[in-house]
Chains A and B, each alone.
Chain A
Amino acid sequence: MSDDAHNNDSHHNLMVNNKKLLMWLFLGSDCMFFGTMISTHLIYRKLYPESFDPTSLFSLELTSFSTFILLMSSFLMALAVSAMHKSDIKSFRRNTLGVIFFGLIFLGCQVFEFTEFVHEGLTLNSGTFGSTFFMLTGTHGVHVAIGVFWLTCMYFYSYTGKMDPHESAIDVEVAGLYWHFVDIVWIIIFTVIYLIEFIK
């Protein structure tokens, strides 16, 4: 059964919540998902380093800023989960709103950045670099957007009165895991797509 009461009866099993185990499995799977895309990007950069020089296009300042925003959103998410465990719904709401806000800023920076690139001539159709860049960062952006949607639903749900802190702590934790993962994938993407290009 999927409710916690039954899980607490199973004292012989590994005492890990079903939902949490499911989310970690999904994240393990997602590692392979992003790993394959990162792999494709790195392969094409290895094969054709001369095909495109993104250093003139990339604004390291902007991307570092958005990376920092996402990192801080992860911090707020950890606080939100912590708040829920302490049954502090008000603090949970504040922190969750912060995560959503920072997530939206990150998405805004991505949209701004992509629009700039398209104006400068880097599109999905700009050879292998354009293909891998936009697919990888685009897929990541979609993951962030889904996370923002999820957290927004959770935020509004917390006002309905149906959110019992004890029962919902696990749901918040699971959403938190997803959000943190989206953050750490970005850390890898930032290094592998942006930072690497600037090394002489």
Chain B
Amino acid sequence: MSSTLTKPTTPATHDHALKPEKSNLGLMRPDHSKNVIIDWLTTVDHKKIGIMYGAMALFFLLVGGLEALIIRAQLIVPENDLVSAERYNQLFTMHGTTMIFLAIMPLNAAFFNFLVPLQIGARDVAFPRINSFSLWAFVAGALVLNFSWLMQAFGELGWFTASGPTAGMKDFVPAMGWFGYAPITERQFTGVGTDFWIMGLQILGIASLSASMNFIATIINMRAPGMKMMRLPVFTWMTLVVSLLIVFAFPAITIALGQLMFDRVFDTSFFQVAQGGQPILWQHLFWIFGHPEVYILVLPAMGIVSEVLPTFSKKPLFGYSIVVFSGAVIGFLGFAVWSHHMFTTGLGKVATAAFSLLTMAIAVPTGVKIFNWIGTLWGGRVRFDAPMIFSVGFIWMFMMGGFSGIMHSAAPADAQQQDSYFVIAHFHYVAIGGILLASISGIYFWLPKILGKMWAGKLSTWVAILSTIGLNVTFFPMHFLGLIGMPRRTHTYLSGFGWEGYNMICSIGAFILGFSVLLFVVDIILLMTKGKPAGNDPWNARTLEWATTSPPRSYNFARTPIIPARDALWEHKHGAENRKITFVDEGSHGIHMPSQSWMPFIASFGFVPLGLGLCLMQAGVAYMGYVTIGGLAIIALGVTLWAIEGPGGFHLHPKEDEI
């Protein structure tokens, strides 16, 4: 066990007496390692994996934020020349891609990983090694995608020029928007930036897919006795819905990216117009993935809010069944509305009307949830601790994003709004006002459980005030900016259109927002350095994860709990006698723990040569095709050895009085 993070309140009962054993391969398993690095690289513990996802997500949140601040600095005055047009294109492309795939999705994954097994009363996920694989595949994907910045630097310094398939192209960083519309993504029009984008997203897709299948199996199969589906915390339900969305939506973009890659590498005709390709097909395939993707981003946030509001209102969630059902309906309907991103492409009257109506329909279950959240607050004994402030902020700010969304759903109105700053206003309200505020709420809520320390001071109030002001000052004017005609994705604008005032306000707001995120980071550092021990249940909460120590022990629960009701911990603390949590008598054979393993790390390491090899090959570097194939071989080898080594495992014997 790593000693820096987990400081259990009772002395360790297990660790150093155990020795690692050999796997079926005849190699020593990396269990019980005293080396911190090996321990974290080979861990299959969902809690440690969650922490690593979270740390990376917060890092990339700052990277994406920096890209945004440069964008806003460029736009603060007309005809600015802080960055060139090409650099600007790269910045907004990477800002979007980073925020969506490298910040929000792993942040959601961090919450899923840490919380779901605890919330269902399990010891770990169904497939611990696949969990580790997902994490390291994510790291590989992030590396491949951001390697492009390094290449761009080399290009600027004159140390590298593209040759071969992309000779003459100077854009090494993706520059075609986070949605990569064909045909600009073809080889004739963009350089290896597009290839980095393709490979990065493919690898990240594999990471997401494997993690999701793991979570579905976990939630369906690994629940503690008595934890019926309708007793699950809403956050776990949302994890299930989101995982199903990922499983069924990601293949569409996998194929679209594959087809694009074939166009660029093998000169096929999927999207190349002169050869009969239809670029509109890219838009369809991308948005068939892309729309479910935005629900993948937001539903976990709704799950977090559905946990925080009841806790700080001291009331159960109003209309639990309806909230769960609405979440499922939103997920399902999310597959049927993709062409609302394409209203101005000339789909024809019938298709446009159909997608317009279906999009309006999605507002219904969303609205239902909002009413239920308000109903939760109503009549409750509300405490405005930090998590609560942000969750309440979510309700209002997300709703504003929803209003502009409904405006988009009317296709005639959308004809004016499409590709203007109005759209930017809409999705930033739902993304920042919705997802970010809810995620910050979740971090304020659960970080004491994760790190075992409580928040120090009242900086959270400042984070809340400044982020809300920043959000609104930056993005509210953009509604008007869009309606008076400023188009998206333009690196500068002329004066005289009436856009100057709005842009300056937006840019000032962006820096206020950036400052609030900085304060948030400071607050986290304060917790880590000055925080007092949090105790098991600092918020007097309702769900199972708060029954464990802070941080939880490696095995989560010493004895498997038997769950009598929804909000099991609350019932245990304040409910009737027959609604107390009891425990399964597991006899004396101890707790079975999964073994740690190198194989997931090795297998996902292969993604790095796979991705970089292909991109460098496109840039004309010699022998890179072999590197790509080598990467594939490493992945295949890693997976085969993984299958043969077997799951292994060892037993722990916690003390009688532990939870």
Which residues does A use to contact B, with CB under 8 Å? 1-3, 5-7, 10-14, 16, 18, 21-22, 25-26, 28-30, 32-33, 35-37, 40, 43-44, 47-48, 51, 124-125, 127-128, 130-132, 135, 153, 157, 162
CA of A73 to CA of B63 in the docked complex: distance in angstroms? Answer: 52
Partner of A29 from B220, B250, B643 at Cβ < 8 Å: B250
By beta carbon, the residue of chain A nearest B563 is A12
Partner of A36 from B220, B222, B278, B285 at Cβ < 8 Å: B285
- Name the A residues within 8 Å of B227 (CB-CB): 12
Q: Is the CB of A33 within 8 A of B268?
A: no
- Name the A residues within 8 Å of B247 (CB-CB): 25, 28-29
CA of A18 to CA of B647 in the docked complex: distance in angstroms? Answer: 14
Q: Is the CB of B262 within 8 A of A124?
A: yes
CA of A153 to CA of B251 in the docked complex: distance in angstroms? Answer: 27
Q: Is the CB of A124 within 8 A of B268?
A: yes
Given A48-B276, A51-B276, A127-B275, A13-B255 contact (CB < 8 Å): no
- Name the A residues within 8 Å of B250 (CB-CB): 29
Q: Is the CB of A21 within 8 A of B251?
A: no
- Name the A residues within 8 Å of B269 (CB-CB): 125, 127-128, 130-131
Partner of B251 from A10, A32, A44, A131 at Cβ < 8 Å: A32
Least distance between B544 CB and chain A CB atoms (Å): 15
Least distance between B267 CB and chain A CB atoms (Å): 6
Binds A, one of B150-158, B209-217, B316-324, B411-419: B209-217
- Name the A residues within 8 Å of B127 (CB-CB): 2, 18, 22
Least distance between A130 CB and chain B CB atoms (Å): 7
A interface: dominant SS: helix
Q: Is the CB of A47 within 8 A of B278?
A: yes
Q: Is the CB of A21 within 8 A of B216?
A: yes
By beta carbon, the residue of chain B nearest A30 is B251
Which residues does B use to contact A, with CB under 8 Å? 24, 123-124, 126-129, 209, 213-214, 216-217, 220-228, 247-252, 254-256, 258-259, 262, 266-270, 275-278, 281, 285, 288, 592-594, 640, 643-644, 647, 649
Least distance between A135 CB and chain B CB atoms (Å): 6
CA of A5 to CA of B256 in the docked complex: distance in angstroms? Answer: 41
Least distance between B532 CB and chain A CB atoms (Å): 35
CA of A18 to CA of B127 in the docked complex: distance in angstroms? Answer: 8
Q: Is the CB of B270 within 8 A of A131?
A: yes
- Name the B residues within 8 Å of A1 (CB-CB): 123-124, 128, 592-594, 647, 649
Q: Is the CB of B221 within 8 A of A13?
A: yes
Q: Is the CB of A14 within 8 A of B647?
A: no
Q: Is the CB of A29 within 8 A of B647?
A: no
Given A16-B220, A26-B213, A29-B247, A127-B276 contact (CB < 8 Å): yes
CA of A128 to CA of B644 in the docked complex: distance in angstroms? Answer: 42
By beta carbon, the residue of chain A nearest B248 is A32
Q: Is the CB of B221 within 8 A of A128?
A: no
Given A22-B126, A36-B251, A135-B259, A10-B223 contact (CB < 8 Å): yes
CA of A147 to CA of B226 in the docked complex: distance in angstroms? Answer: 39
Given A29-B209, A128-B276, A6-B268 contact (CB < 8 Å): no
By beta carbon, the residue of chain A nearest B228 is A12
- Name the A residues within 8 Å of B262 (CB-CB): 124, 131, 135
Q: Is the CB of A18 within 8 A of B217?
A: yes
Other than the given A28-B248, A33-B251, A43-B281, 9 more pairs (CB < 8 A) read A5-B592, A12-B226, A18-B126, A22-B213, A36-B285, A44-B276, A125-B266, A125-B269, A132-B270
- Name the B residues within 8 Å of A157 (CB-CB): 644
Number of A-B pairs, beta carbon distance below 8 Å: 127
CA of A5 to CA of B262 in the docked complex: distance in angstroms? Answer: 45
CA of A6 to CA of B214 in the docked complex: distance in angstroms? Answer: 16
- Name the B residues within 8 Å of A44 (CB-CB): 276, 278
Given A1-B649, A28-B247, A29-B247, A36-B252 contact (CB < 8 Å): yes
Least distance between B347 CB and chain A CB atoms (Å): 14
Least distance between A170 CB and chain B CB atoms (Å): 13
Partner of A162 from B24, B123, B216, B276 at Cβ < 8 Å: B24
- Name the B residues within 8 Å of A35 (CB-CB): 251
CA of A157 to CA of B252 in the docked complex: distance in angstroms? Answer: 35
- Name the B residues within 8 Å of A32 (CB-CB): 248-249, 251-252
Least distance between B610 CB and chain A CB atoms (Å): 15
Q: Is the CB of A13 within 8 A of B24?
A: no
Q: Is the CB of B221 within 8 A of A153?
A: no
Q: Is the CB of B640 within 8 A of A153?
A: yes
CA of A194 to CA of B268 in the docked complex: distance in angstroms? Answer: 21
Q: Is the CB of B217 within 8 A of A21?
A: yes
Partner of A12 from B225, B266, B270 at Cβ < 8 Å: B225
Q: Is the CB of B270 within 8 A of A40?
A: yes
Given A2-B647, A26-B213, A124-B262, A14-B220 contact (CB < 8 Å): yes
CA of A14 to CA of B219 in the docked complex: distance in angstroms? Answer: 10
Name 7 interchain pairs, CB-CB below 8 A, sorted by A: A1-B592, A1-B593, A2-B647, A10-B225, A14-B220, A18-B126, A25-B213
CA of A33 to CA of B256 in the docked complex: distance in angstroms? Answer: 10
By beta carbon, the residue of chain A nearest B253 is A36
- Name the A residues within 8 Å of B249 (CB-CB): 32
- Name the A residues within 8 Å of B267 (CB-CB): 124-125
Partner of B255 from A18, A33, A43, A131 at Cβ < 8 Å: A33
CA of A128 to CA of B285 in the docked complex: distance in angstroms? Answer: 16
CA of A3 to CA of B592 in the docked complex: distance in angstroms? Answer: 10
Q: Is the CB of B216 within 8 A of A25?
A: yes
4 tightest Cβ-Cβ pairs between the two chains A and B: A131-B268, A33-B251, A32-B251, A36-B255
- Name the A residues within 8 Å of B285 (CB-CB): 36, 40
- Name the A residues within 8 Å of B224 (CB-CB): 12
CA of A79 to CA of B411 in the docked complex: distance in angstroms? Answer: 56
- Name the B residues within 8 Å of A128 (CB-CB): 269-270, 275-277
- Name the B residues within 8 Å of A153 (CB-CB): 640, 643
- Name the A residues within 8 Å of B255 (CB-CB): 33, 36-37, 40
Q: Is the CB of B281 within 8 A of A40?
A: yes
CA of A1 to CA of B652 in the docked complex: distance in angstroms? Answer: 14
Q: Is the CB of A18 within 8 A of B270?
A: no
Q: Is the CB of A124 within 8 A of B266?
A: yes
CA of A30 to CA of B247 in the docked complex: distance in angstroms? Answer: 9
Given A18-B221, A32-B248, A40-B281, A125-B213 contact (CB < 8 Å): no
Least distance between B338 CB and chain A CB atoms (Å): 13
- Name the A residues within 8 Å of B248 (CB-CB): 28-29, 32
Partner of B222 from A10, A11, A22, A25 at Cβ < 8 Å: A10
By beta carbon, the residue of chain A nearest B644 is A157
CA of A132 to CA of B281 in the docked complex: distance in angstroms? Answer: 13
Partner of B592 from A6, A22, A28 at Cβ < 8 Å: A6
Partner of B221 from A3, A10, A29, A131 at Cβ < 8 Å: A10
- Name the A residues within 8 Å of B256 (CB-CB): 36
CA of A130 to CA of B268 in the docked complex: distance in angstroms? Answer: 8
Least distance between A105 CB and chain B CB atoms (Å): 23
Q: Is the CB of B217 within 8 A of A22?
A: yes
CA of A3 to CA of B595 in the docked complex: distance in angstroms? Answer: 12
- Name the B residues within 8 Å of A10 (CB-CB): 221-223, 225
